[in-house]
């Protein structure tokens, strides 16, 4: 195990201990034909029973932090063991985010899909490839931006996120933004836009405007998956990208004296 992996594993164990969640270790098997030792019984099933929806100690409480500070590694560990909503029952793994942690640009999507859930990375597959091309069109490589989602877990059958699921993840996203401090946010898709802006307004009416989120300029565009289904809308998405570039460039110009 690499030194970096050992550090993350220590953080994970420290976090689990802070929550009072036991870490079970596999006991060595007795020799063939031997009677199992009295103390070798498997851990008892939690009192809440097998229903994972009942095993959410953090569902209504604030997640504790590790040590003094809210760094990227601590936050990633918190997300990896999150039990704040029922999506813990169906996920393969959490999808924290990926990219340059000092990026100027932040892209925020909706939620992990099937491939994201399997790979643990947002925007993979065909939609991810199209996002890469969209970024390349404005002179950016994928590893130059930071990419995250409204939700850190995949909703079953890729359904829309429930309000309580969004609320459970909102604090994580806000902390990512606070750590990153991007100069521009690009919200990809209706779900991302409406949840960031706390609105039900249609994405068609949210486009072509510059909003503010946590004091950071926010531009709305279509989700790459939607553009794959509706290629004629790519022209509008290009206009959104240009608006984001223009907004960022304006923020870089010092005020005239």
Residue 107 predicted with pLDDT over 80: yes
List the single range of 57-61, 91-95, 98-102 with lowest mean pLDDT: 57-61
Q: What is the mean pLDDT of residues 183-192?
A: 98
**pLDDT, position 65:** 40
| Local confidence band at 53 (pLDDT 50, 70, 90 cut-offs) | low
Residue 48 predicted with pLDDT over 60: no
CA nearest to 207, candidates 195, 226, 194? 194
pLDDT digits (tens, 9 = 90+) for 121-133: 999 999 999 999 9
13 vs 194, higher pLDDT? 194
**pLDDT, position 252:** 77
Q: How far is CA 172 from CA 109, 134, 154, in A?
A: 14, 26, 15
| Secondary structure class of 212 (helix, strand, coil) | strand
Containing 98, the helix (H) or strand (E) segment is strand 98-99
**pLDDT, position 22:** 53
Name residues whose C-beta falls within 8 Å of residue 222's C-beta, 6 or more positions apart in sequence: 188, 189, 203, 207, 230, 233, 236, 237, 240
CA distance 169 to 182: 19
Topology adopted by domain 96-257: Uracil-DNA Glycosylase, subunit E (3.40.470)
| Local confidence band at 29 (pLDDT 50, 70, 90 cut-offs) | very low
Domain range summary for the chain, segments of one domain joined by +: 1-20+44-89, 96-257
CA distance 96 to 166: 14
pLDDT digits (tens, 9 = 90+) for 139-149: 999 999 999 99
pTM for the structure as a whole: 0.75
Q: How far is CA 17 from CA 20, 23, 42, 54, in A?
A: 5, 8, 20, 20
Mean pLDDT of the chain: 82
């Amino acid at each position: 195990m690499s030194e970096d992996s050992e550090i993350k594993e220590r953080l994970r164990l420290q976090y689990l201990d802070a929550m009072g969640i036991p870490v079970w270790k596999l006991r060595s098997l007795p020799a063939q034909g031997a009677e199992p030792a009295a103390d070798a019984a498997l851990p008892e099933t939690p009192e809440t029973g097998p229903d994972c929806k009942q095993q959410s100690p953090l569902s209504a409480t604030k997640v504790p932090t590790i040590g003094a500070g809210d760094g990227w590694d601590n936050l990633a560990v918190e997300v990896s063991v999150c039990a704040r909503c029922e999506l813990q029952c169906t996920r393969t793994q959490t999808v924290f985010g990926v990219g340059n942690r000092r990026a100027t640009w932040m892209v925020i999507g909706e939620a992990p899909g099937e491939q994201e859930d399997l790979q643990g990375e947002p925007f993979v597959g065909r939609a991810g490839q199209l996002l890469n091309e969209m970024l390349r069109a404005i002179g950016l490589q994928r590893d130059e931006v930071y990419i995250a989602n409204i939700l850190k877990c995949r909703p079953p059958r890729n359904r829309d996120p429930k309000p309580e699921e969004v609320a459970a993840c909102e604090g994580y996203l806000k902390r990512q933004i606070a750590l990153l401090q991007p100069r521009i946010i690009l919200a990809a898709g209706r779900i991302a836009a409406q949840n960031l802006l706390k609105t039900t307004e249609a994405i068609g009416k949210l486009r072509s405007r510059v909003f503010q989120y946590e004091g950071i300029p926010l531009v709305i565009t279509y989700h790459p998956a939607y553009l794959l289904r509706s290629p004629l809308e790519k022209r509008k998405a290009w206009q959104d990208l240009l608006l984001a570039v223009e907004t960022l460039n304006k923020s870089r110009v010092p005020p005239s004296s």
